[in-house]
């Protein structure tokens, strides 16, 4: 992209940011990894991926960890199922005063993932031997996983299942002809595009979703040519503090101001 050549400082800073966070443990995988079986780890990755909406990453990990401590491992799908009140009490205690629109849906998501596990067990066999299209189709059975043509939560869930640790569970897949596993895109990629100004130059707001995803992929490839998933993974930490205590988002704003107003 021509924009990359015109803004080398921003690209250099962003590449450094990607390197800083590319091997940071995924927050959902970190909680799921506490489970005592691969079956439970997969289930908790699916559950956590459904919850990843309109909540800061660090707070999501806190909520998911509280739920795991209250209902560990196989308790996600084993009978007797926890009550709505007990699930909501755990969520509210963990998130504090944060206004989370998904909060009231957590019990339904919990029970839906449990129902999925009971139908699809053993999950390791399902994940390793089902075509990618089949996995996306099956994940549509889970409440809040999404059913649209493009489903970012489902794509993120599969990335967490198949990526190597600490970004994922590292589940091996059988070679299936025609399988194309897409790169997941953290929502923060869009924030980056808007923040640095590229969005206005290329008319990002008016692009259809297919062209937006194509641009997202080109950015991830530019920042991490060997594995664009590393760049996408790193962007999840866009608002998380780095070594000096500032988030990369704040740091990038400072660079952008210096570039444009010096």
Q: What's the confidence (pLDDT) of residue 59?
A: 95
37 phi and psi, to 5 degrees? -140, 155
- Interacting residues of 162 by C-beta distance below 8 A, sequence separation 6+: 127, 168, 169, 170, 171, 173, 181
Triad 244, 250, 252: Cα angle to 5°? 100
- Residue ranges of domains in the chain: 2-24+182-261, 27-149
> Over the stretch 219-250, which tens digit does the pLDDT of each residue have?
999 999 999 999 999 999 998 887 788 888 88
**pTM, to two decimals:** 0.93
Average pLDDT value for residue range 180-205: 87
The confidence band for 260, taking pLDDT boundaries of 50, 70 and 90, is low
With tokens 């100004």, the residue in question is 197
Q: State whether residue 134 is helix, strand or coil.
A: helix
Nearest to 212 by CA among 224, 203, 221, 223: 203
């Amino acid at each position: 992209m021509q924009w990359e050549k015109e803004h080398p400082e921003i690209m250099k800073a962003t590449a450094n940011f990607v390197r800083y966070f590319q091997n940071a443990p995924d927050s959902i995988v970190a909680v799921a990894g506490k489970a005592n079986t691969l079956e439970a780890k997969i289930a908790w990755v699916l559950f956590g991926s459904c919850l990843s909406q309109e909540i800061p990453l660090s707070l999501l990990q806190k909520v998911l960890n509280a739920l795991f401590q209250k209902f560990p491992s196989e308790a996600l799908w084993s009978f007797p199922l926890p009550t709505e009140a007990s699930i909501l009490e755990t969520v509210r205690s963990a998130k504090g005063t944060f206004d989370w629109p998904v909060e009231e849906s957590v019990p339904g998501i919990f029970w839906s993932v449990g129902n999925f596990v009971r139908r699809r067990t053993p999950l390791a066999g399902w994940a390793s031997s089902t075509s990618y299209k089949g996995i996306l189709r099956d994940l549509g059975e889970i409440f809040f996983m999404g059913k649209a043509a493009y489903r970012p939560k489902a794509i993120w869930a599969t990335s967490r299942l198949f990526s190597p640790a600490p970004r994922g569970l590292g589940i091996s897949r059988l070679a299936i002809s025609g399988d194309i596993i897409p790169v997941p895109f953290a929502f923060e990629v869009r924030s980056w595009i808007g923040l640095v100004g590229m969005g206005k130059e290329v008319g990002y707001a008016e692009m259809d979703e297919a062209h937006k995803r194509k641009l997202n992929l080109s950015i991830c490839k530019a920042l991490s040519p060997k594995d664009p998933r590393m760049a996408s993974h790193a962007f999840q930490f866009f608002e998380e503090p780095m070594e000096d205590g500032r988030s990369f988002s704040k740091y990038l704003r400072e660079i952008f101001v210096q570039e444009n107003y010096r």
